């Protein structure tokens, strides 16, 4: 005796940009095209080599990095944030005699389309790093 299986088609509504931004639904599927609108999603990230000629290794929504001197960079976003009120997090690799690096916003204010960052050695001095990783969260235009 064999058991029969019935194929059923289940209709699940697709998430919209507005729905993702509201972050309220638990009953929609999220396609890659709208996933980035959820508040928990990083809106941009980048990994780059900050020594010599600055080079992006991998990124999302970052068009370029501007080198403004030793350990001082500006991240340029492909799609800007809706304001300068977004969150950034970063880390960089220790190179040479310094035991570690931290990444922080430079003393220049962030803007919707750019983020100024500086990598510091453990003594607090600006220093280039061979691997800088930054991620950004917030509302985009």
Q: What is the pLDDT of residue 70?
A: 92
Q: Which helix (H) or strand (E) holds 105?
A: strand 101-105
The reported pTM is 0.79
**Radius of gyration, CA atoms only, the chain:** 21
Q: Are 44 and 88 in contact (CB under 8 A)?
A: no
Query: Any idea of the CA torsion for 69, 75, 81, 83, to the nearest 10 degrees?
Result: -10
Q: Among residues 78, 70, 67, which one has the least CA distance to residue 114?
A: 78
Count CA atoms within 13 Å of residue 104 on its CB side.
Answer: 11
What is the rounded distance in angstroms from the CA atom of residue 132 to the CA atom of residue 112? 21
- The more confident residue out of 18 and 108 is 18
Give residue-wise pLDDT tens across range 60-90.
999 999 999 999 999 999 999 999 989 999 8
In order of their start, the domains of the chain are 1-41 (no CATH), 42-137 (2.60.40)
Q: Write out the two tokens for 141.
A: 């235009």
Of residues 43, 6, 10, 7, the one with CA closest to residue 29: 10
94-137 tens-digit pLDDT:
766 555 566 776 667 889 999 999 888 878 888 888 899 999 99
């Amino acid at each position: 005796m064999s058991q029969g299986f019935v194929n059923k088609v289940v209709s699940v509504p697709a998430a919209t940009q507005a729905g993702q931004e509201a972050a309220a639904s638990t009953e929609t599927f999220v396609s890659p095209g709208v996933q980035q609108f959820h508040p928990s999603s990083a809106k941009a990230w980048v990994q780059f080599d900050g020594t010599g000629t600055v080079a992006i290794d991998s990124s999302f929504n970052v068009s370029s990095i501007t080198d403004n001197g030793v350990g001082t960079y500006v991240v340029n976003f492909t799609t800007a944030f809706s304001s300068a009120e977004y969150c950034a997090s970063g880390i960089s690799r220790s190179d040479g005699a310094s035991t570690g690096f931290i990444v922080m916003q430079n003393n220049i204010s962030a803007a919707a389309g750019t983020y100024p960052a500086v990598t510091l050695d453990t003594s607090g001095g600006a220093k280039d790093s061979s691997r800088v990783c930054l991620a950004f969260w917030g509302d985009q235009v």
